[in-house]
A and B are shown apart, each in its own frame.
Chain A
């Protein structure tokens, strides 16, 4: 009887050719990296992406905030060597956020088709699940 049970296979529905069953697309691990010099715009884009992904019920790992990189340039103010030695301190701050999803690439494309603020750079890395 056990053998018969084992042998018994549940009846499979014959679907259309190419129908994979279950999830229609291959799932990938997708990492979206957002970087910008402007925090406000960056946060806005992050929020939009996260809401979009949550709306599609994707497994989401929330925006991980990388430490901001500060690039400094310190120069003499004077074009010549004369005068009091005053220095200018310029800095550029780069902020980075990382969002991890598990979904198909199509869905990701849809999500990232939202209006992106200027100055925000989007990078998508797709990997095997």
Chain B
């Protein structure tokens, strides 16, 4: 402005600007404060927010710097679980007010309850308990226990209601329950089947287990029993089977097996003997039936006997166990297919297919037959149409070869030769036909020109359509298609 001095410049800034912000740490979005936004010297004492804003932090600042926090503050900090080190942690907390956005739900799992003062808790999860212990050396066990347990200050509440109920019950009710032990003593009952000796041993072991001894490294040396588990019926069965399979083949022991199979042991023995001997096939394959029926001669007499025996015995057992009337043994002879029959012939192929899959058609000469118009040359009769004519030195079916210019020319020549007589008569007409030809060709050219024009027009008209199509093709179509 004209009236202003050179040195003076800015207008005196006698204003203060405040902005409404939500209060820091407040849950309620409507809890707002005015915050000064500018840096002018102008002060507005009336705007009470400033004072309120200043008072608390400054007071805290003074108090925390100078001396210990007031007692109420300290108690509150301790209640929250924060350390009492002279710092006012409350300044970092915000009040939770129920609003639409959030609501406080106490978690059921997180916070462990602090122990009452007259209770001490230890974490014994790392203590190892041995299933069987021969000796209870109290001194050693106590040391082992102490080494693995850790004291706890807070015990987590049991989430399961049953567990909680059990924990809550007083110790007095549990005093007699140790003798009762497990209500289901299925382990004992199962082991009673084996024998009394073993049962006694197991009961001792179980008894030790219930009192939960601690595993000691030295105890391992005293344990002679290679099987830490209790021996069951299944174990014995397994041992027997193992002996049979991999031990010496003692025929006598097999009688002691449980009746698991239907076949009697004698049959098994016979079959095994038969299997062990090498049955060599010399010239022809002969089944045991052949020997029985005595049709063919055999090389070894023993084999004959054995095979005969086997068959006889099988027949007998079949009688016994199937309760069928005694009949001659029916032996099914499977004839091997000879080499000749392995090869398929057309007949077989055709006969094995049904017409659903196989569509036999008449074999014809390749394609050209249909493309060609029926030629009627003078001198040709209808019957000669079916004959494939061979021409030339190589005797090729000329008509049906792939189209060749020479042949076409030949045909034309032939045609022209045939029609040459007619040509001379039509010379005048030919000239006209030349003109006609010119006219015709010119007309064709015009058509093409017009078509090109129309295409260009259409292309311009529908350019937006092509753009859209291009967009779509860019996503879906192959890139080889070019639209624009």
Contacts and interface: CB of A to CB of B under 8 A. Distances in A.
Contact of B20 (A105, A118, A124): A124
Contacts of B211: none
B285 interface: no
Contact of A124 (B17, B30, B474): B17
B23 interface: no
Contacts of A118: 29
Identify whether the interface residues of B are mostly helix, strand, loop, or mixed: mixed
Given A125-B15, A127-B14, A109 B34 contact: yes
Given A123-B17, A126-B15, A115 B47 contact: no
B128 interface: no
Contacts, number: 60
Interface in A92-129: 104-106, 109, 112, 115-116, 118, 121-128
A127 B19 contact: no
A105 B471 contact: no
B474 A83 contact: yes
A123 B471 CA distance: 49
B301 interface: no
A72 interface: no
Given A25-B46, A105-B44, A125 B17 contact: yes
A84 interface: yes
A26 interface: yes
Contact of B30 (A104, A105, A115, A126): A115
Contacts of B192: none
B194 interface: no
A126 B470 contact: no
A37 interface: no
B18 interface: yes
Contact of A125 (B16, B29, B30, B470): B16
B47 A109 contact: yes
B477 to A, nearest CB: 13
Contacts of A115: 30
Interface string B9-28: 00000111111100000000
Given A116-B20, A118-B29, A123-B19, 4 more contacts: A83-B471, A105-B46, A105-B47, A123-B17
7 contacts: A83-B474, A84-B470, A109-B47, A118-B29, A125-B17, A126-B15, A126-B42
Contacts of A25: 46
Given A116-B20, A126-B16, A127-B15, A106 B470 contact: no
A118 B467 CA distance: 44
A102 to B, nearest CB: 13
Interface in B429-452: none
B27 to A, nearest CB: 15
